[in-house]
Chain A
Amino acid sequence: DADVTQTPRNRITKTGKRIMLECSQTKGHDRMYWYRQDPGLGLRLIYYSFDVKDINKGEISDGYSVSRQAQAKFSLSLESAIPNQTALYFCATSDRGTSGSTWETQYFGPGTRLLVL
């Protein structure tokens, strides 16, 4: 079984709808991240969480919210979807590492392809 799973894998929705993307991990990591990928722009960080009680905004958090329900679960919500939120969304996890190291590998889920009409 995959260590980082995302549901759904594909989603089509309409402008104004609220949708939730879910991420689960079995790696036992404290840190979880949500990114979006757009052609030519690489990956941009939306939100991140270093533990269950720690949620932080990333580079492009406007229009998004998150919930860290447990160590293993981190959900991303689009409160009112708009067409420019059409993108590929990735969840990732990483270990805390020794002494809070910044070089821990991030492990990515397979992505959710979202189309907002």
Chain B
Amino acid sequence: AQSVTQLGSHVSVSEGALVLLRCNYSSSVPPYLFWYVQYPNQGLQLLLKYTSAATLVKGINGFEAEFKKSETSFHLTKPSAHMSDAAEYFCAVSDLADKLIFGTGTRLQVFP
């Protein structure tokens, strides 16, 4: 069965520092992988998705993620954190029945 594991429920960085949010997946077939972001008091919105094209995927707001099959990972990065990046981030994998399986989320705090 498909699943995702997000390492670290909370990540804190200083403004301007590198953001790295970790996601590892388990899938019996080539996966489709997603990162969603949830800003305070809002629903989730798509940051980026991997659909078996380029392994380096660029998303909105300067985020990107790299699909690494050998490591079964899809980590999310941003070179320079901004205060507005403070949110909760969810990794997800599409299962064989066209549904999304979400990770437990990582809350990102950005300090000035």
Please determine whether A43 and B98 come into contact, CB atoms closer than 8 angstroms: no
CA distance A28 to B95 in the complex (A): 23
Return chain B residues, CB-CB under 8 Å to A44: 102
Q: Number of A interface residues, CB 8 Å?
A: 25
Q: Mark A78-93, 1 if CB is under 8 A from B, else 0.
A: 0000000000001010
Number of A-B contacts (CB under 8 A): 51
Given contacts A58-B99, A103-B94, contact A42 B104 (CB under 8 A): yes
Chain B: interface size category: 20 to 34
CA distance A110 to B32 in the complex (A): 25
Return chain B residues, CB-CB under 8 Å to A31: 98
Please determine whether B46 and A106 come into contact, CB atoms closer than 8 angstroms: yes
A69 interface hit (Cβ, 8 Å)? no
Return chain A residues, CB-CB under 8 Å to B105: 40, 42
CA distance A100 to B32 in the complex (A): 13
Return chain A residues, CB-CB under 8 Å to B49: 103, 105
Of B11-19, B37-45, B68-76, B78-86, the one contacting chain A is B37-45
Interface residues of B (CB under 8 A from A): 9, 32, 34, 41-46, 49, 51, 90, 94-95, 98-100, 102-105
